[in-house]
Every structure is written in structure tokens, then in C-alpha cells.
Amino acid sequence: NAGVTQTPKFQVLKTGQSMTLQCAQDMNHEYMSWYRQDPGMGLRLIHYSVGAGITDQGEVPNGYNVSRSTTEDFPLRLLSAAPSQTSVYFCASSYVRNQPQHFGDGTRLSIL
């Protein structure tokens, strides 16, 4: 029972570097989303997708790109990492948008 799988679990980057956070789900969920979690601020939505080929911005999209070429995968790209992007990133999925989310175990990202 894999559920939502995120890789890597930990990553350290230098300012200006780019990288892709991977997210895959095996539950045939149409809705997928990316959140960042910072102390005292709960979970904030970065981008989301209601199905393959469709993506939209969430609450804090600046500095991040996403694509959804398949139902299973929803990668998050940091184009030019900044220290303000140091956070824990969670990918989540559900059958449709208004259902409870299934979360991955997160990627802990530090930008130096």
C-alpha cells in the first residue's frame, strides 16, 4: 500500500539552484496538490491539479512550477531556490477536490 510517495525525503540546496520534488500516487486519484508547512503557519497550498493536463495556482505559487502529464505523477519544480523556500513540502491527493486528502511523508528542504 504505497499511497502517496514523495522523493527525496531530505535535500539541501544552495541559493539559485533548481530542483524537482517528486510526487507519485497509486490510488488513481484525480486531484493532487502541493503544500508547504512552516512553523506557526499551518499548511499553505502552492499548486494543485484536478486531473492530467490541468494545473492551477494556490495560495503561495511564486517561485514554483508544476505539471501533470499523468494521473499518477505531480512534480514540483523550484526554478531558482531562495532561502525563503526552506520548508517542509507535502504532496497530497484525493479522488476529487473536496474530499479529504491523503498526504505523503514530506520533503524537508533547506536552502543555504
Partner 1 sequence: TQLLEQSPQFLSIQEGENLTVYCNSSSVFSSLQWYRQEPGEGPVLLVTVVTGGEVKKLKRLTFQFGDARKDSSLHITAAQPGDTGLYLCAGLSSNTGKLIFGQGTTLQVKP
Rg of the chain, C-alpha, whole Å: 13
State the chain's maximal CA–CA distance in angstroms.
Answer: 37
- C-beta closer to partner 1: residue 14 or 40: 40
Q: Which positions touch partner 1 (CB under 8 A)? A: 4, 35, 40-45, 58-59, 90, 92, 97-98, 100-106
Is there a contact between 110 and 83 (Cβ–Cβ < 8 Å)? no
**At closest approach, how far in Å is the CB of 78 from partner 1?**
20
Phi, psi of 84 (to 5 degrees): -65, -10
